[in-house]
Amino acid sequence: MDLSRQQRAPICDALEKFRKKRVVPFDVPGHKRGRGNPELTKLLGQQCVGIDVNSMKPLDNLCNPVSVIAEAEELMADAFGAAYAFLMVGGTTSAVQAMVLSVCAKGDKIILPRNVHKSVINALILCGAIPVYVKPKIHPVIGVALGMEKESLLEAINANPDAKAVLINNPTYYGICSDLVGLTKIAHEHGLKVLCDEAHGTQLYFADDLPIAGMKAGADMAAISMHKSGGSLTQSSVLLLGENMDRAHVRQIINLTQTTSASYLLLSSLDISRRNLALRGRESFAKVKEMSEYARNEINAIGDYYAYGKELIDGSSVYDFDVTKLCVFTKPIGLTGIEVYDLLRDEYDIQMEFGDLGTIMAYISIGDRMQDIERLASALSDIRRLYKKDKEDLAYVDAVTPKVVCSPQESFYAKKVSLPIHETAGRVCGESVMCYPPGIPILSPGELITEDLIGMILYARDKGCSLQGMADPSADNLQVLEGVKGA
């Protein structure tokens, strides 16, 4: 990394220069630097709306950058140790979809774990690729899917020698990391591209004692959520490329779906955040790690709760663990994660990242403070004292890998009928069903519906999880393929 160059922020510098010129706007956006919408200006401030501008020569164009945005992308690639980088303003969803669409066409196979984000499944719907799922092991205590094992990848490749790529979560939402170097080596030996969903892995690039990052491990592409742990504005992300990717082709893929009116608020936040991480990231994430480990110890000292960490590492299904992820298993107090999540928000004014059927997650980042950690631990202790009840058997969304009957694209666009959910066992699902966050589908288009999966959906709904993806948000009905039975 060239630290002298990393002190630059070309997009921000161009915006400041533009602001000083007091240019008369006869272009979009129509609020005209906020004058046409004083209520918006009052909410966001003149500093913000004054640089909410459209692409123009002095500010470059994200679709085909040649000046300040091009330089910002070069600096981003240098900071992350990548050959190329693209600034993304459609969230990491668009970065993940660009990865898949860059290497897969209709009918191509891609190997992936079932616990992928919905953006991956949606990419398969768009391009018509066929998923080959590697079934992960499930942890016997915390009930979440673990990492991809090398033996499982080899088995999938041998059974599908025509596969084009493998997608790996690094880390998973729960902090679990696979042997990324070993998996990448196997994939490349068999001619497969390696795609890393690193939506929760920005910190891996700016710390020496965290799991290895995708670019350092030799991955071909990596999708980075800068807005999650990197400090940029929500919806701003980065797509990284290795040396063996065709940058021009990937740019064309990105431009199929990315907006032609990129927000300079998002672009400038990426520019500033990259500079901040390049110059101070190692120091910042050392503090994040310290806070996370402190919180883990404090919460485990309460009793019953289990804030898990490096003790999960077994060298195979959990090759490494990202200790900045603070996930707390709540089953021992007789409450689901979503129930504790709701209590923390409603009774203690603490907003967690997510709560699922067994776990809550606190996203510790460069903006957190030790006093907030203390407040969280105190609230969890209070909840245990006031709300603890007898344990019950909790179902886990990760515990079942559905059978793929037909491709996500074929199923999504097929003729469908809506049936009461209790009548859908044995039918082929025509829509996605997921708890969000984290956005991992319980069911995706083209998968066989079983009684177990119906039970999981209803259990999640009844416990208060936010179910998304269905035409019927109440989950009373599911869309299935008309006239098609999967078993």
DSSP string covering 410-469, please? HHHHS-EEEEEGGG-TTEEE-S-EEETTTTEEEE-TTBBP-HHHHHHHHHHHHTT--EES
The per-residue pLDDT of the chain, averaged, comes to 93
Confidence tier at 486 by pLDDT (50, 70, 90): low
- What CA–CA distance (Å, rounded) separates 419 from 441? 19
Strand 165-169 vs strand 109-113: parallel, antiparallel, or unpaired? parallel
Is pTM beyond 0.85? Reply is yes
Residue 405 scores a pLDDT above 60: yes
Share of the chain above pLDDT 90, in %: 82
Q: Give residues with Cβ within 8 angstroms of 366, minimum separation 6.
A: 229, 230, 231, 284, 285, 287, 288
Per-residue pLDDT of 142-159, as tens digits, reads 988 899 999 999 999 999
Residue 201 scores a pLDDT above 50: yes
Residue 60 scores a pLDDT above 90: yes
Eight-state DSSP code of residue 111: E
Averaged pLDDT, 54-65: 95
Averaged pLDDT, 41-54: 93
Q: Give residues with Cβ within 8 angstroms of 153, minimum separation 6.
A: 111, 134, 166, 183, 186, 187
- What CA–CA distance (Å, rounded) separates 367 from 483? 53
- What CA–CA distance (Å, rounded) separates 5 from 71? 10
Per-residue pLDDT of 267-279, as tens digits, reads 999 999 999 999 9
Per-residue pLDDT of 207-225, as tens digits, reads 989 999 999 999 999 999 9
Inter-helix orientation angle 264-302/370-387, to 10°: 50
DSSP string covering 169-215, please? ESS-TTSEE--HHHHHHHHHHTT-EEEEEETT-GGGGG-SSSPPPHH
- What CA–CA distance (Å, rounded) separates 256 from 69? 19
Same fold, 3-9+57-279 and 282-387: no
Averaged pLDDT, 80-106: 97
- What CA–CA distance (Å, rounded) separates 313 from 321? 7
Q: How many residues does the chain have?
A: 487
Question: Which SS3 state, helix, strand or coil, does residue 133 take?
Answer: strand
Residue 397 scores a pLDDT above 60: no
Per-residue pLDDT of 253-304, as tens digits, reads 999 999 999 999 999 999 999 999 999 999 999 999 999 999 999 999 999 9
**Do the beta carbons of residue 356 and residue 435 sit within 8 Å?**
yes
Each domain of the chain, given as residue ranges in start order, spans 3-9+57-279, 22-56, 282-387, 408-485
Averaged pLDDT, 311-325: 96
The CATH number of the structural domain formed by 3-9+57-279 is 3.40.640.10
Per-residue pLDDT of 160-197, as tens digits, reads 999 999 999 999 999 999 999 999 999 999 999 999 99
According to DSSP, the residues that pair with 176 across neighbouring strands are: 321
Is 3.90.100.10 the CATH classification of the domain at 408-485? yes
**Do the beta carbons of residue 329 and residue 305 sit within 8 Å?**
yes
The pLDDT, as a whole number, for residue 395 is 53
Backbone dihedral angles phi then psi of residue 60, each to the nearest 5 degrees: 70, -175
Angle subtended at Cα 177 by Cα 318 and Cα 394, rounded to the nearest 5 degrees: 65
Q: In the CATH hierarchy, which top-level class contains the domain 282-387?
A: alpha beta
